[in-house]
Structure 1
Amino acid sequence: MFGKKKSTPQIDKDQLELIQNAQKRIKQKKRLYIHFVIFLIGAIFLIIANTLLGIGEDFKFFGYDWFLFAVLIWLFLLVYHVFNVFITHKFMGKAWEKQQLEKLVSKQQERIEKLKDGFVREEKLLAQTQAYNKAKSEKNKSELTIIVAAAENHAIGKGNQLIWHLSDDLKRFKNLTNGHHIIMGRKTFESFPKPLPNRTHIVITRQKHYKVPDGVVVVNTLADAIDASKNDTQPFIIGGGEIYKQAMDVADKIELTRVHHNFEADTFFPEIDTKVWTETANAFHKKDEHHDYEFSFITYERKQ
């Protein structure tokens, strides 16, 4: 009783046009039928008026009674009406057929455009998938790692030198980087008395004709450094501050030694965004006779 109102069915525009044309056609035929009935009645009336009532019986054209010409003229009008309904204004004439053909072509064109859009989207998706798979494959081949020791206030150095001496940290650095490419800035490289053994050094500098010992690779950008170490399964970024900042956007892992103390410094490590990085390992070390500060070895991996 108080149910929802029935929704009025929506009529397609083409269907509505067909209904309207059908209504016009019915009106045309009704008018023609009325014309035909009036013609019959009128013709009979003219014949009766002339033959039985004697109206205009002496009035003739070319030897024929006048009502014969009147009936012929009316018959001509009726024939013209029939021609107009069934020939000139047909329900589905050439104009209507042309209009429907244009609509059909337009709809087919729309479908073609939709198919084209679909193909374009599929091609983009396929390209993205291929690019992703390629990147993933390359990532599996090489894992770019930042290795750094930073204080609680993110200090990493002063005057191009380390602020502290932690023997276990130096051992860890040696064990992790041994046999790998190490990527660094010019100032970091110049802080070494000599190149570190059993490692391939890649130095980033803008200086032209920068002289280095044999075996050291010189490049101009971080991207070139990464490309130069692409055959290494785990190249390491070892500093300094500006190189670390650039590497944070492209590195896969961070091996951090967090020194639990604050220091005055002129070089700092970027803050690690936990929305981007996940801590996967954490080992705490107390200070002892060989270590003046407490520290932790922490591993971060980039979130997928």
Structure 2
Amino acid sequence: MFGKKSTKPQIDKDQLELIENAQKRIKQKKRLYVHFVIFLIGAIFLIVANTVLGIGKDLTFFGKEWFLYAILIWLFLFVYHVFNVFITNKFMGKAWEQQQLEKLVAKQQNRIEKLKEGFLKEETLIAKTEAFKETNIKNSNLTIIVAAAENNAIGKGNQLIWHLSDDLKRFKALTSEHHIIMGRKTFESFPKPLPNRTHVVITRQTNYNAPSGVIVVNNLKDAIDAAKTDKQPFIIGGGEIYKQALTFASKIELTRVHHNFEADTFFPEIDETIWKETANIFHTKDADHDYEFSFITYERK
């Protein structure tokens, strides 16, 4: 019909490749045929040149006329041409290369799949282990116990800044018969391990030499896992351990010292959108206490 363009037949990529390969093979065979014809004509010419025209008649090698060697060399080149077209191209041509490539890719893919299976198994095991630890952490009823000033100061030079007798008594009463988790510097600030408590010390040092009965771990999660048999393990310091523990703790037992102090270690600010105050007992200054303080209990909302 007028106004309509004729549609061209579509040839997909594979068909086009087959056509191109076929055209290439036809050209190769044509060149081989031409080579064969030229070889026959050339061989006849060499024989005529020597026997009829007398060209190089007296030239011989090992008792044979030179043209015989020329024909043999040319024959060798022709045989090589035949071999290249019909043998090499068939077994080492593009199709052969593609086949070998596919085999190598299949082997590599199989290896990758095996590696993936191994990684998936390992990742699953790690995930289960981490999930188990997270569950233990969440169900640990972890309690932070700390004495902090109004400006959140808790220590200087790895030592307490104040001495409050009732605070020490409260610390002893709450933590006795429990696991107490602490950093290495906090542990080393004690003259000796505290009685009636299981010490869990967190340190990055390898082969840390701790007294018998002291549990040494490398991170807070492992420390909490080490105290999983305790219904209420306590975090007792220092500053970095407190900061990490706020993510997991369910309770804070805080002694708030109503004074500001110079310090090099501080307790993190308590976020009252996460924590609610459930108890507050105020103590005034007296002969045994140089500062006013309050025992405050926070529980996670």
TM bucket, shorter chain: 0.5 to 0.7
The match for 1:63 is none
Alignment-derived partner of residue 26 in structure 2:
none
Q: Secondary structure at the match of 1:271?
A: coil
Equivalence for 1:71: none
- Quote the residue 1:198 is aligned against: 196
1:162 aligns with one of 143, 160, 163: 160
SS in 1 for 2:262: coil
Structure 2 residue corresponding to 1:269, chosen from 267, 270, 276: 267
Amino acid at match of 1:267: T
Deviations 1:173-217 (A, max 9, x none): 000000000000000000000000000000000001000000000
CA spacing shift, 1:252–1:292, aligned 2, 3 Å: same
1:288 to 283, 286, 289: 286
Residues 153 and 267 of structure 2 are in contact (CA less than 8 Å); yes or no, is this contact kept in structure 1? yes
Letter in 2 for 1:159: G
Structure 1: 5+ residue stretches without partners: 1-130
Q: Please tell me the residue identity of whatever aligns with 1:195.
A: P
Match of 1:180 in 2: 178
Taking a change above 3 Å as real, the CA distance of residues 178 and 287 of structure 1, as seen in their structure-2 partners, is same
Return the offset for 1:274.
0.2
CA 138–213 in structure 1, closer or farther in 2 if over 3 Å, else same: closer
The offset of 1:139, in angstroms, is 5.1
Alignment of 1:1-304 (within 5 A): 142-303=140-301
* Offset, 1:253: 0.3
What is the CA deviation profile of residues 91-138 of structure 1, one whole-angstrom value per residue up to 9, with x for unaligned ones?
Answer: xxxxxxxxxxxxxxxxxxxxxxxxxxxxxxxxxxxxxxxx9xx98898
For normalisation by structure 1, the TM-score amounts to: 0.54
Counterpart amino acid of residue 283 in structure 1: I
Seen in structure 2, the aligned counterparts of structure 1 residues 287 and 222 have a Cα distance that, compared at 3 Å, is: same
Cα–Cα, structure 1 residues 242 and 289, in superposed 2: closer, same or farther, change >3 Å? same
Give the secondary-structure state (helix, strand or coil) at the position aligned to 1:168.
Answer: helix
Cα distance between partner residues in 2 of 1:137 and 1:268: 28
Letter in 1 for 2:174: L
- Give the match's secondary structure for 2:241: helix
In structure 1, what is the Cα distance between the partners aligned to 2:294 and 2:279? 10
| 1:256 to partner: Cα distance | 0.1
- Aligned mates of 1:151, 1:250 — CA distance in 2: 23
CA contact (8 A) 2:250 2:300 kept: yes
One-letter code aligned to 2:194: L
How much identity, in percent, do the aligned residues show? 81
Compared with structure 1, are the counterparts of its residues 137 and 186 closer, same or farther at alpha carbon in structure 2 (3 Å cutoff)?
closer
**Any idea what the Cα deviations from partners look like across 1:8-41, whole Å, max 9, x if unmatched?**
xxxxxxxxxxxxxxxxxxxxxxxxxxxxxxxxxx
Distance in 1 (CA, whole Å) between partners of 2:247 and 2:134 is 15
Which amino acid in 2 is paired with 1:166?
L
Aligned-partner residue type, residue 265 of structure 2: T
* CA RMSD in angstroms, aligned pairs only: 1.7
- Separation in structure 2 between the aligned mates of residue 136 and residue 240 of structure 1, nearest angstrom: 24
Hey, what does 1:104 align to over in structure 2?
none
How many Å separate the matches in 1 of 2:135 and 2:287? 45
Output the CA distance in 1 between the equivalents of 2:163 and 2:193.
19
- Give, in whole Å, the separation in 2 of the partners of 1:162 and 1:139: 30
Residues in 2 aligned to 1:137 and 1:266: alpha-carbon distance in whole angstroms: 33
Unaligned runs of 5+ in 2: 1-130
Q: Per the alignment, in what secondary structure is the counterpart of residue 174 of structure 1?
A: helix
Greater Rg, structure 1 or structure 2? 1
Question: Runs of 4+ in structure 1 displaced over 4 angstroms?
Answer: 134-140
Q: SS in structure 1 opposite 2:222?
A: helix
- Whichever residue aligns with residue 199 of structure 1, its letter is R
